[in-house]
Amino acid sequence: MDSNHKVNTMLIASGGGTDANAIMEAYSGGFIPNISLKKLISTKYGAGCLEKADKHNIETLVIDRKECGLGGFNRLLLAERIKLDCKLVFLVGCIVRVAPIVRVTIYNIHPAEIKNFGGDGMYGLTVHKRVLLQILDLIHRGRKSIDDRFFTYPTVHEVISDLEYDSGEPLLVGSVEIPKSIIYNAFHKKVSLEESAELLQKEVLPYEWMMLPTAVKMAANKIICNL
């Protein structure tokens, strides 16, 4: 693809970088030809995402959220966006509230459906706990049977506000069937809610890794079509 039709893209991560790695691996393998992956930004020093980016020869930068504060973080991020002329940003395991940037499209990966399981404080295991609690409540109230099939829906969505983070339109939604053993053991309290959420997270993550490269390609194509 002609470089004039590649969308300059940044990734922002805060932790181990498994979601970021899914994108970088696909990019390195030529699966996302419509972007130019300019940089991975980590919100803290020593995060595992930095090592993963190095392995894929992706340039990195640390903008430490604790060191510079939220306002300082967003100002430095804006300066980096201008420097690299990035039109697309993917938040992949980023726990910092990134403010909207003019002429930049920002997407976030959320481990469940955003309408009922998004909002303030909803990230990591908290999301999976809420999904399981809703299912257990439906079973306890007789609205559902423990033998029914249950699903959770990891979602890539646009970020349009740092105040209502999960309010943007979904770009790509996955459907993950929750193993019956997780529901059964949580319902009968054979396994704690915390452990059940960890098991559900392990089920969902591989779907996130499959979804993200496609979502990046879709997002970049939308930008190109609107040029």
Query: What is the average pLDDT across 170-199?
Result: 97
What SS3 class is residue 70?
Answer: helix
8 Å CB contact between 10 and 38: yes
The pLDDT assigned to 101 comes to 86
A 10 A CB-CB count for 95 gives 14
| Tens-digit pLDDT profile for residues 95-133 | 888 888 888 999 999 999 999 999 888 888 999 999 999
Query: What is the average pLDDT across 189-213?
Result: 97
| Tens-digit pLDDT profile for residues 50-101 | 999 999 999 999 999 999 999 999 999 999 999 999 999 999 989 888 888 8
The pLDDT assigned to 198 comes to 98
The pLDDT assigned to 2 comes to 46
What is the pTM for the complete model shown? 0.92
**How far is the CA of 88 from the CAs of 82, 100, 135, 143, in angstroms?**
12, 11, 36, 42
Strand partners, 152: 176
Strands (E), 14-166: 35-42, 60-62, 88-91, 105-110, 151-152, 155-158
The pLDDT assigned to 165 comes to 75
From 11, 17, 71, 72, select the one nearest 46 (Cα to Cα). Answer: 17
Task: Determine the Cα–Cα distance for residues 67 and 141; give it in Å rounded to an integer.
Answer: 48
What SS3 class is residue 198?
Answer: helix
The pLDDT assigned to 4 comes to 62
**How far is the CA of 170 from the CAs of 6, 106, 194, 219, in angstroms?**
23, 12, 28, 11
The pLDDT assigned to 1 comes to 43
8 Å CB contact between 135 and 144: yes
Quote the tokens at residue 212: 């993200």
